[in-house]
Amino acid sequence: MKKAGIIYKTVNEIRGPLLVVEGVKNARYNELVEVTLPDGHVIIGSVLDSHEDKAIIQVFGRTEGLELNVSVHFTGEVVKIPLTNDLIGRVFDGSFKPLDKLPPPIGDEEREVFFSVINPAAREPPSEFIQTGISVIDGMNSLVRGQKLPFFSEAGLPHNMIAAQVARQATIPGREEDFAIVFIGMGIKNEEYAYFRKEFEETGALNRSVMILNLANDPVIERILAPRIGLTIAEYLAFEHNMHILVILTDMTNYADALRSISIAREEVPARKGYPGYLYT
């Protein structure tokens, strides 16, 4: 069966996980593309930018085997994930592939992961206390539903232990049954991955969590995709199933480094320490 969309074989440049395709017409931002390698293997990507007759494609997954003679199929669709409350208790990688040896989820619906954010000014004033079980946080720097709480750390300090402890203990008093965790690890090492999996499984925290884990040796672009997948899941569970969701992201430094890598590949004008200016907005 012939695929819908347009197929191009006009790649003229490869910059890491980015492909520059010439002669493209009407490419849409975040449009889903399929890159077919000479051996027939297909890699998924999306449109990162387009200008005149050129489109920049960001590839999800490993980039081994990328050549200028690949075929790029513009599908006309956008990156979506299936959503269901059965995602609780599951573990996925940064491109939403299962890591728990269970089949891919079949959702009640699909939603875009690159979507407009919720207007924070439209929400009710935050007032509901989230208990972390860590006395110094609960007593001196309380976490409140609807707010963000950054944890600043240095190399060698137990920030992963703190993140796992919050995931294990956090709750809203009196609403424990409607509370869940979306845990997103970005650029974590293999030993950190093993620690989080063991900690969540042995303590039972996984039973009320969705884990999105991107390893340091995974493609850099998945570090950009992972938090968007996690937040899409969190918003679905919160607004469609009336659950109280705590999102934990670690490590934001790895996310910032991924943004810098992509920005350099796009030849953008750098800001402080080589990071793109939009990192600070």
**Highest mean pLDDT of the ranges 111-115, 119-123, 172-176, 227-231:** 227-231
Question: Is residue 22's pLDDT more than 90?
Answer: yes
If asked whether residues 86 and 175 sit together in one domain, one would say yes
b/e map 142-174, b = 16+ CB within 10 Å? ebebeeeeeeeeeeeeeebebbbbbbbebbeee
Residue 281 pLDDT grade (very low, low, confident, very high; cuts 50, 70, 90): low
If asked whether residues 68 and 177 sit together in one domain, one would say no
Question: Is residue 90's pLDDT more than 60?
Answer: yes
If asked whether residues 95 and 208 sit together in one domain, one would say yes
β partners of residue 184: 212, 249
Quick one: pLDDT at residue 30?
Answer: 84
If asked whether residues 147 and 165 sit together in one domain, one would say yes
* Inside any domain, residue 258: no
Question: Is residue 140's pLDDT more than 80?
Answer: yes
**What does the chain come to in residues?**
281
What pTM was computed for the model? 0.88
* Inside any domain, residue 274: no
If asked whether residues 174 and 95 sit together in one domain, one would say yes
Across the chain, the runs of DSSP E, i.e. the strands, are: 6-8, 11-15, 18-22, 31-36, 42-51, 54-59, 71-78, 80-83, 91-93, 109-112, 129-130, 143-144, 179-188, 209-215, 244-250
If asked whether residues 137 and 186 sit together in one domain, one would say yes
Quick one: pLDDT at residue 248?
Answer: 96
Question: Is residue 40's pLDDT more than 70?
Answer: yes
Q: Which of 49, 78, 107 is the last residue of a domain?
A: 78
Which residue segment(s) compose the domain that 180 sits in? 81-250
Quick one: pLDDT at residue 1?
Answer: 45
CATH of the domain at 56: 2.40.10.170
Tally of domains in the chain? 2
End-to-end Cα, the chain, rounded Å: 45
If asked whether residues 101 and 16 sit together in one domain, one would say no
Residue 83 pLDDT grade (very low, low, confident, very high; cuts 50, 70, 90): very high
* Inside any domain, residue 107: yes
If asked whether residues 209 and 90 sit together in one domain, one would say yes
Compute the distance between CA of residue 8 and CA of residue 208 in angstroms, rounded to an integer.
44
Quick one: pLDDT at residue 208?
Answer: 95
Could you give the percent of the chain with pLDDT greater than 90?
A: 47
Q: Which of 62, 78, 94 is the last residue of a domain?
A: 78
If asked whether residues 96 and 117 sit together in one domain, one would say yes
If asked whether residues 57 and 172 sit together in one domain, one would say no
Question: Is residue 168's pLDDT more than 90?
Answer: yes
Tell me what the mean pLDDT of segment 197-212 comes to. 95
Q: Tell me: the pLDDT tens digits for 208-264?
A: 999 999 999 888 888 989 999 999 999 999 999 999 999 999 989 999 999 898 888
Mean pLDDT, the chain, integer: 88
* Inside any domain, residue 265: no
If asked whether residues 128 and 236 sit together in one domain, one would say yes
* Inside any domain, residue 119: yes
* Inside any domain, residue 172: yes
Count H helices, E strands: the chain?
5, 15
If asked whether residues 138 and 221 sit together in one domain, one would say yes
Residue 206 pLDDT grade (very low, low, confident, very high; cuts 50, 70, 90): very high
Quick one: pLDDT at residue 226?
Answer: 94
Residue 141 pLDDT grade (very low, low, confident, very high; cuts 50, 70, 90): confident
* Inside any domain, residue 280: no
Compute the distance between CA of residue 156 and CA of residue 212 in angstroms, rounded to an integer.
24
